[in-house]
Amino acid sequence: MLTQNLGYPRIGSHRELKKICENYWADKTGYKNVLQVGKNIRHENWLMQKEAGIDVIPSNDFSFYDHVLDHSLTFGAIPKRYNEVILKKGNSELDLYFAMARGYQKEGLDVVAMEMTKWFDTNYHYIVPEFYKDQPFKLFSTKIVDEFYEAKQLGIITKPVLIGPVSYLLLGKEKETGFDKIDLIKNLLPVYLDILSRLDALDVEYVQFDEPFLTLDLDEKAKKAYEFVYKEIRKAFPRLKIVLATYFEGLGNNLALATSLPINVLHIDLVRSETQLNDVLSALNEKTTLSLGLVDGRNIWKNDFEKSLSIIDQAVEKLGSDRVWIAPSCSLIHSPVDLTNETNEQDLSSEIKQWLAFAKQKVAETVILKKLATKESPASTLQKLEENKIAIGNRKSSDLIHNQQVKQRVLALKDEDAERLSSFASRKIKQQSLNLPAYATTTIGSFPQTAEVRSWRAKFKNGTYTLDEYNTLIAEETAKAVKWQEEIDLDVLVHGEFERNDMVEYFGELLNGFAFSKNGWVQSYGSRCVKPPITFGDVSRPEAMTVKWTAYAQSLTSKYIKGMLTGPVTILQWSFVRNDQPRSVTCTQIALAIRDEVCDLENAGIKIIQIDEPAIREGLPLRKADWQNYLNWAVKAFKISASGIQDETQIHTHMCYSEFNDIIQNIADMDADVITIETSRSQMELLDAFADFKYPNEIGPGVYDIHSPRVPKREEMVHLLKKAKAVIPSEQLWVNPDCGLKTRGWDETKKALIEMVEAAKEMRKSEAVLTAEQEIN
């Protein structure tokens, strides 16, 4: 029995990678220093895993930005627009690489970055490979081989990790028509063979191919590609030990395919799909070893050793202990690095800490599981098992976690609690008392979070400002924002969210059942890391969270202030979620807390309340067959949060993406009175989905893109609104930007919103002329 790791966090235990890269991009440090920091991180990771006792240690899991981009560079899949970057004197391979990741605007060149998108259903983003017709591939970077050699010099024979050829192609995007990316497999295979022969020359033993697409719905062509490519690799390297890694879901109907491939070790994710074990055990052929992904690579909970041991026993009974490996469920890049960095009792109490394991602790767990399973356990390991039992038992009964009142409230929920009092049609009539014009203008919530605003928060946290001083500053900023919105004549105002650090963290900090680490950073993309809250216990709301600031803003104006909340699905989706109850239950608990907040806002005289749900779509399960179940509870949670109020109170929701086609029915089921969405980048194309569906409620299609500092012209927005009006009746339309303005500066924000308000007025005017003409006729 061996242990393996599939990948270790590369950001460094104190985000060293972020710091050095950002300094390099700002021209504050040199190329050699960047390489050195990368090397230090790799060495530290390898040596740590070796010391911990991992048998098969990964290499090429390090990356300066993104591992998918590493592969594109390695395979020479470099879009032509970067040629000039390559040719520019003094530019290194790293400069080209960063140019592909981030774009290149220097010395007269202006080359855009490659596209970025989410890595399966995680919060990690990868750089999407670009494929062109007859896309050539050739070995461009020898990173994979170099890093194997680097570890070898340290005395560690690593297992290079490559994205498998089929998954690599499926991750990419065809940038021209007239071909199917999967057909590129024949061009791509020789580069894999080239890399493997170089590794072979250095006496590589294991190579890991990540093929996460084997857990998704596959078409026949992709299945054929799998058969073809692994047969060819096997033919060329009969003795190479191939580890095929699958994760994020069960193999499902791809099980026969996966077990038919000529590989040596099949890795499966038993955290995401515990039930697949029996099927895999029966389907596995006698030549293949099974790697059990038992330690959760995507969450922060301690492994339940007793439970894992019983799974290992099952596998050993069937396969014998030689054909069983122990591993984390997937790469540990989705876990924070090291729990021992959490030293502040106030942030994370020791009671909560005893339930947690970050990447370094997960490596240790993997090794302990093997020792316990093979009964080669010294007393100290047996002691660990006892400690583990105590921690797991304590979590089951801790008062910190379990709140009977909350559990009762969830159980007592009735269907009608998820429904508004009346249908949208009747609500719309009652909401006419709001007296809003056609093409009512509003924003999505946040105004610029300037360096100054952030510095107030930092100064309050480090004790430079008292709470009163901090509150005064926030109040002044809020008052300024309200006044300015009145001046430019927006119809529905917001308070600006100046008091919020982040749309999930802000609420998590005010709710019971959430904890925060100091150092629990996880890579989101490139140098950007996030620190998701930890939902560890039943969620309740000790007191109102937003009423003070919203009511304050409302007291300053006779126009409506729109209350601003983050929805239950988004709070769930962007947190580490507890694994001792279904996600749907945790989500419902959060929904009840938000519902209470909505009611409190209504009681405080707030007539319009927005519940943001930007994460509802990304929560979709990987397999289509699981979608409906998720959508049922997610939509219901939103509705629970939005339904405790009178018909006259108007509920808005906001989502910032543009693929609605496949879930439009569910969006309609959410029954928000108004939805604001992203549409400007697609030139309102997305509205067709709403029009075809005959979406009944009101819509605010974003009329300009807030992701760019460019100030949109009035005519552009009028043009977009006319397009919108062509498919959606004007009494259903709102006018707003695509998303919140927190990342923008005030200057461009002011200019853009002034134009936006004028564009709406122009629309109203032309509409008035039209109606007048109709009346005359």
- Asked if 445 touches ligand GLN (CB under 6 A), the answer is yes
Give all strands (DSSP E) within 140-248, no chain letters.
159-163, 173-174, 206-210, 241-245
Q: 715, 758 in Cβ contact below 8 A? A: no
744 is a site residue for ligand GLN (CB under 6 A): no
- Judged by CB under 6 A, the residue of 327, 663, 733, 739 near ligand GLN is 739
Q: Does the annotation place 580 within a ligand binding site?
A: no
CB of 251 to Zn ion, least distance (A): 35
With contacts defined by CB under 6 A, name the span among 22-30, 101-109, 685-693, 736-744 that binds ligand GLN: 736-744
520 part of the interface to ligand GLN, by CB under 6 A: no
Set 43, 402, 707, 719: catalytic member: 707
On whether the CB atoms of residues 474 and 500 are closer than 8 A, the answer is no
CB 213 within 8 A of CB 167: yes
Which residues, other chains included, contact 175 with Cβ-Cβ below 8 Å and sequence gap of 6+? 79, 130, 131, 132
The reply to whether 553 sits near ligand GLN by the rule CB under 6 A is no
Question: Among the candidate windows 21-29, 67-75, 164-172, 734-742, which touches ligand GLN by CB under 6 A?
Answer: 734-742
Given 101, 740, 755, 757, the residue binding ligand GLN (CB under 6 A): 740
| Main-chain phi, psi angles of 360, to 5 degrees | -60, -40
Total residues contacting Zn ion (rule CB under 5 A)?
3
From Zn ion, ligand GLN, none, interface partner of 644 (C-beta below 5 to 8 A by class):
none
Site for ligand GLN in 638-677 (CB under 6 A): 654, 656
DSSP-H helix ranges across 529-673: 547-555, 568-573, 583-603, 627-642, 664-670
The answer to whether 477 is a known ligand-binding residue is: no
Q: From the CB of 570, what's the least distance to Zn ion, in Å?
A: 10
* Minimum distance of ligand GLN from residue 614's CB (angstroms): 4
DSSP character at residue 114: P
- Distances in whole angstroms, Cα of residue 122 to Cα of each of 132, 169, 335, 662: 27, 19, 11, 20
Does the annotation flag 88 for ligand binding?
A: no
| Residue (666 or 736) nearer to ligand GLN, CB | 736
Closest CB 107 distance from ligand GLN, rounded Å:
35
Q: Could you tell me the smallest distance in angstroms from the CB atom of residue 746 to ligand GLN?
A: 15
Q: Which of 444, 591, 674, 728 binds ligand GLN (CB under 6 A)?
A: 444
Strand ranges, E, within 383-518:
440-441, 492-493, 512-515
Binding partner selected for residue 742 from Zn ion, ligand GLN, none, CB under the kind-specific 5 to 8 Å limit: ligand GLN
State the minimum distance, in angstroms, from the CB of residue 445 to Zn ion.
Answer: 8
> C-beta of 150: minimal distance to Zn ion in Å?
42
Segment contacting ligand GLN (CB under 6 A): 11-19, 267-275, 357-365, 443-451? 443-451
The verdict on whether residue 529 carries a ligand-binding annotation is yes
Return the one option of ligand GLN, Zn ion, none that residue 568 interacts with (CB less than 5 to 8 A, by type): none
Near Zn ion by CB under 5 A: residue from 739, 752, 757, 760:
739
Q: How far is CA 658 from the centre of its chain?
A: 16
Q: Which does 702 bind (CB under 5 to 8 A by kind): ligand GLN, Zn ion, none?
A: none
Name every residue whose Cβ is closer than 8 Å to that of residue 488 and which is 6 or more positions away in sequence: 750, 753, 754, 757
Query: Around Cβ 462, how many Cβ atoms within 10 Å?
Result: 8
Q: Rule CB under 6 A: say whether 742 interacts with ligand GLN.
A: yes
**Residues counted in the chain:** 777
Assigned token pair, 159: 């297992």
Task: Tell me the C-alpha distance between 214 and 250, whole Å.
Answer: 9
Residues 225-254 that bind ligand GLN (CB under 6 A): none
Q: Is the separation of the CB atoms in 53 and 326 below 8 Å?
A: no
Between 300 and 675, whose beta carbon lies closer to ligand GLN? 675
Among all chains, which residue has been given the structure tokens 């590609």? 225
Residues 534 and 584 sit within 8 Å (Cβ to Cβ): no
707 catalytic per annotation: yes
Per CB under 6 A, contacts with ligand GLN among 558-617 are 564, 612, 614
Query: By three-state DSSP, how is residue 143 classified?
Result: helix
Distance CA 633, CA 628 (A): 9
CA atoms of 549 and 437, how far apart (whole Å):
26
Least distance in Å: CB of 501 to ligand GLN?
Answer: 12
Residue of the chain from 41, 473, 503, 760 that contacts ligand GLN (CB under 6 A): 503
420 annotated ligand-binding residue: no
User: Of 656, 675, 735, 753, which one interacts with Zn ion (CB under 5 A)?
Assistant: 656
Distance CA 614, CA 594 (A): 16
**Closer CB to ligand GLN, 428 or 744, in the complex:** 744
Annotation-wise, does 618 bind a ligand?
A: yes
End-to-end CA distance of the chain: 87
- What burial letters (b/e) apply to 185-213, b meaning 16+ CB within 10 Å? bebbbebbbbbbebbbeeebebbbbbbbb
CA nearest to 567, candidates 595, 527, 540, 606 = 595
345 has binding-site annotation: no
Is residue 324 involved in binding ligand GLN (CB under 6 A)? Answer: no
Contacts 24+ apart (CB under 8 A), 431-437: 431/647, 431/648, 431/650, 431/673, 433/648, 434/560, 434/607, 434/608, 434/648, 434/650, 436/491, 436/492, 437/491, 437/764
Please say whether the beta carbons of 166 and 215 come within 8 A. Answer: no
Question: Which residue's Cβ lies closest to ligand GLN?
Answer: 740
Known binding-site residues for L-homocysteine equal 444-446, 497, 612
Residues that bind ligand GLN (CB under 6 A): 444-446, 503, 564, 612, 614, 654, 656, 739-740, 742
Q: Annotated binding site for 5-methyltetrahydropteroyltri-L-glutamate: which residue ranges?
A: 15-18, 118, 123, 528-529, 574, 618
> Which residues participate in catalysis according to the annotation?
707
Which residues are annotated as part of the binding site for Zn(2+)? Answer: 654, 656, 669, 678, 739
